[in-house]
Amino acid sequence: MGGHADMGTSVISAQAAKQQITITRLYFALKKITRYQSPAYLRRNSRRDWGCEYEEALEYAYENIQQTAKDAIKGMREPR
């Protein structure tokens, strides 16, 4: 009988480990997004930094944010 109790504990531990990995992945994705250049910064410096107008730089930045978010949730189920 002792084996069954250990099995339940390992299942819970595996679930907790998987949850921690998910939380860590989401945390680092959000942290990455916070380091993206702000719209105000892009407005002032997009020509110098990226060689394009503000609107184009903003569009690329938005697409990068979307891709970072997609990468972070790839393979995850929607919460119930």
Residue type, 31: K
pLDDT in tens, 16-37: 888 899 999 999 999 999 999 9
Residue type, 66: Q
Q: Rounded CA gap, 61 and 63, in Å?
A: 5
Burial bucket for residue 25 (CB in 10 Å: 0-12, 13-18, 19+): middle
Tokens of residue 52, six digits: 């394009």
Q: Supply the pLDDT for residue 3.
A: 53
Q: Domain coordinates of the chain in residue numbers?
A: 2-73
Does pTM top 0.85 for this prediction?
Answer: no
What share of the chain has pLDDT > 70, as a percent? 90
